[in-house]
A and B are shown apart, each in its own frame.
Chain A
Amino acid sequence: MTTTVPTSEPTPTPTSTSAAFAARVVDAVKLYGTGDTRVRALDGVSVDFPAGRFTAIMGPSGSGKSTLMHCAAGLDTLTSGSAFIGDTDISALDDRRLTLLRRRRIGFVFQSFNLLPTLTVAENITLPLDLAGERPDPEWLDALVDTVGLRDRLHHRPGELSGGQQQRVAVARAFAGSPDVVFADEPTGNLDSRSGQEVLWLLGRTVRQAARTVVMVTHDPVAAAHADEVVFLADGRLVDRMSEPTAERVLDRFKSFAPHPSRRR
Chain B
Amino acid sequence: MTSTRASVRLSISSLRAHKRRFAGTFVAVLLGVAFLTGTLVMGDTLRASFDTMFGNATAGTDAVVRSSNVVTVAGESQGTRQPVSTGLAKRIEQTPGVAAAAPDIQGAGQLIGSDGKPVGGQGPPTLAGNWIDDPKLNPYRLAAGRAPSAPGEVVINRGTADRGGLGIGDTTVLRTPDPVHVTIVGLATFGGQDGMGQVTYTAMTQADAEKYLTPKPGEASTIQVRAGPGTSQQELVDALRPVLPKGVEAITGQASAAENRDMISGAFLSVFTTLLLVFSGIVLLVATFSIHNTFAIVVAQRTRENALLRALGASRRQVVGSTLVEAAAVGVIASAAGLAGGIGIAAGLQALFPAVGFPFPEGALVISAVSLLLPLAVGVLVCLGSALLPAVRAGRTAPLAALRESAADDSAASRARALAGLVLLVASLGTILTGALADVSVWLSAAGAVSALAAFVVLGPVASSYAVRFLGAPLDRLRGVTGRLARRNALRSPRRTASTATALMIGVAVVSLFTVFGASLKATMNGAVDRSFAGDVAISAPAFGAGGSGLSPRLAPAVDRLPEVATAVGLGKGVAEVDGAGRALTVTDPAALGRVFDLGRVDGSLKGLGVNGIAVSDIEAGKRGLHTGSTARLAFTDGTQQNFTVRAVYDRSELAGDYVITRLAWAPHRAQDSDSLIAVSFKPGVATAVGKAAVAKTAAAYGNPDVQTRSEYAQSSAGGIDMMLTLVYALLALAVLIALLGIANTLTLALHERTRELGLLRAVGQTRSQLRSMVRWESVLVAAFGTAGGLLLGGVLGWVLVEASVGTGDTAFAFALPPLRLLVVALVGITAGALAGRRPARRAARLDVLRAIAAE
Residues of A in contact with B (beta carbons under 8 Å apart)? 70, 75-76, 95-96, 99-100, 102-104, 107-108, 110, 113-119, 123, 127-128, 130-133, 173
Contact = CB atoms under 8 A, between A and B. Distances in A.
Contact of B770 (A108, A113, A131): A131
B488 A108 contact: no
Contact of B764 (A95, A96, A173): A173
Name, among A116, A118, A128, A130, the residue most crowded by chain B CB atoms within 10 Å (CB to CB): A118
Interface string B727-770: 00000000000000000000000000000110011111111111
B263 interface: no
Given A96-B767, A99-B768, A102-B765, A116 B757 contact: yes
B766 A99 contact: yes
B765 A100 contact: yes
B763 A75 contact: yes
A76 to B, nearest CB: 6
B481 A110 contact: no
A102 B849 CA distance: 12
B485 A119 contact: yes
B765 A118 contact: no
Nearest to A108: B763
A67 to B, nearest CB: 9
B764 A102 contact: yes
Contacts of B757: 113, 116-117
Contacts of B491: 118
B492 A127 contact: no
- Could you tell me the dominant secondary structure of chain B's interface residues? helix
Contacts of A102: 763-765
A99 B765 contact: yes
A66 to B, nearest CB: 9
The 7 closest A-B pairs by CB, nearest first: A103-B765, A118-B488, A130-B481, A99-B767, A128-B765, A128-B764, A113-B756
A96 B768 contact: yes
A123 B768 CA distance: 20
Contacts of B767: 96, 99-100, 131
B782 to A, nearest CB: 15
24 contacts: A75-B849, A76-B850, A99-B762, A99-B766, A99-B768, A103-B766, A108-B763, A108-B764, A110-B760, A110-B853, A116-B761, A118-B485, A118-B492, A123-B484, A127-B481, A127-B761, A128-B765, A130-B481, A131-B481, A131-B482, A131-B761, A131-B765, A133-B480, A173-B764
A242 to B, nearest CB: 28
Contact of B480 (A110, A116, A130): A130
A60 to B, nearest CB: 19
A104 B765 contact: yes
A113 B850 contact: no
Nearest to B770: A131
A251 to B, nearest CB: 27
Given A103-B765, A133-B480, A113 B853 contact: yes
B489 to A, nearest CB: 6
Interface string B764-781: 111111100000000000
Given A99-B766, A132-B765, A173-B764, A75 B481 contact: no
A171 to B, nearest CB: 13
Interface of B: 480-482, 484-485, 488-489, 491-492, 756-757, 760-770, 849-850, 853
A110 B764 CA distance: 11
Contacts of B849: 75
Contact of B485 (A76, A107, A116): A116
Nearest to B767: A99
Contacts of A108: 763-764
Contacts of A96: 767-769
A100 B757 CA distance: 18
B36 to A, nearest CB: 41
A117 B493 CA distance: 13
Contacts of B482: 131
Contact of A127 (B764, B769, B850, B853): B764
Given A75-B849, A100-B767, 13 more contacts: A99-B762, A99-B765, A99-B768, A102-B765, A103-B764, A103-B765, A108-B763, A118-B489, A118-B491, A128-B765, A131-B482, A131-B770, A132-B765
A133 B479 CA distance: 10
B492 to A, nearest CB: 6
Nearest to B761: A116
B377 to A, nearest CB: 43
Name, among A99, A100, A119, the residue most crowded by chain B CB atoms within 10 Å (CB to CB): A99
B497 to A, nearest CB: 13
Contacts of B762: 99
A127 B763 CA distance: 11
A131 B760 contact: no
A75 B764 CA distance: 10
A143 to B, nearest CB: 20
B668 to A, nearest CB: 83
Name, among B484, B762, B764, the residue most crowded by chain A CB atoms within 10 Å (CB to CB): B764
Nearest to A70: B850
Given A96-B768, A133-B480, A114 B850 contact: no
A123 B761 CA distance: 13
B850 A95 contact: no
A107 B760 CA distance: 11
A184 B488 CA distance: 27
Nearest to B408: A117
Contacts of B485: 116, 118-119
Name, among A113, A131, A132, the residue most crowded by chain B CB atoms within 10 Å (CB to CB): A131
Contacts of B481: 123, 127, 130-131
A207 to B, nearest CB: 20
A95 B768 contact: yes
A102 B761 CA distance: 11
Contacts of A131: 481-482, 761, 764-767, 770
Nearest to B848: A76
A76 B484 CA distance: 28
Name, among B492, B769, B853, the residue most crowded by chain A CB atoms within 10 Å (CB to CB): B853
Name, among B482, B492, B767, the residue most crowded by chain A CB atoms within 10 Å (CB to CB): B767
A159 to B, nearest CB: 9
Nearest to B482: A131
A113 B489 CA distance: 17
A40 to B, nearest CB: 18
A66 B762 CA distance: 18
Contacts of B484: 119, 123
A117 B405 CA distance: 14
A108 B480 CA distance: 22
A166 B233 CA distance: 93
A116 B760 contact: yes
B573 to A, nearest CB: 68
Nearest to A101: B765
Contacts of A107: 764
Nearest to B855: A113
